[in-house]
Structure 1
Amino acid sequence: MINVFNEAPQGIQSAPHDPRIVAAGYQVAVREVDFSHVRDKESLMMAFLRGLALTESFGRNWDALYDVLTDPDARPARFALVLCDYEHFRKHHKHLAAELERVLLDAQRDAATRGRFLWLLAEEPASDPRHW
């Protein structure tokens, strides 16, 4: 398997096994966002607030999310966002996932134009009864 950190980020990719360990070898900072309890836009924004360790002043809307992902003062130049339980979320919240993906991919393109890297890595639980 090709290591995702050997290449420029390309959309939402499968997370490598032990993404934090792999990322460390490439000097990539990693944060995880857990989608397992996301039910609506509010709980989605709360998942990002927790995952990115944002303050309560985070606006909890699409523009605010884009801003924190593209802020060079808030994010390292080599940054990976691990999206935990993402496929389950996508399956059950298609409209919300489509809106989120527009924001994430726009932020990834913005980063690329500034010579920065934003990897978007979907990771599934190893043993989740919903996937059996």
Structure 2
Amino acid sequence: MMQVFGAPPDGLQLAPHDVRLLAAGHQIGVREVGFTGVRDKDTLMMAFLSGLALTERFGRNWDALYDVLTDPQARPARLALVLCDYAQFRGRHVQLGAQLEAVLLDAQRTLAAQGRALWLLIEERDSDPRHR
């Protein structure tokens, strides 16, 4: 498998097994967002609030999420966002997942145009025996 950090971010990609170790070697910040308990837009926004270590001032809407992902003061120039248990969430919440992906991909394109990088990495814990 090609090393994911050896190329510019390209949409949603599968996370490599040692994502944190690989990211550290490439001087890429890592943040993890867990989707296990996400039931609706509010719990989705809470998952990002927690995963990105945002303050309670976070607006909890799509525009606010885009803004925090693209804020040069708040994020490193190279960031990997690890989306944990994302495929299961996406299967349960098709419309919410599509809205989220539109925002994430828009942020990824905006950052690329600024010479920055946002990897969107899907990590499935169920398929990884280390997490059972």
Please report the TM-score for the alignment, with normalisation by the length of structure 2: 0.95
How far is 1:18 from its partner?
Answer: 2.0
2:36 matched residue in structure 1: 36
SS at match of 1:74: coil
CA-to-partner distance for each residue in 1:58-116, whole Å, 9 max, x for gaps?
00000000000000000000100000000000000000000000000000000000000
- Aligned runs of 1:96-115 on 2, under 5 Å? 96-115=96-115
Report deviation, 1:127: 5.0
Could you tell me which residue of structure 2 aligns to residue 9 of structure 1? 9
Question: What CA RMSD, in Å, does the superposition of the two structures yield over aligned residues?
Answer: 1.0
The unaligned stretches of length 5 or more in structure 1 are: none
Distance 1:46 1:72 in 2: 22
* Count of paired positions: 128
- Which structure 2 residues correspond to residues 6-85 of structure 1 after superposition, within 5 A? 6-85=6-85
Partners of 2:126 and 2:34 lie apart in 1 by 14
Cα separation, 2, equivalents of 1:9 and 1:2 = 13
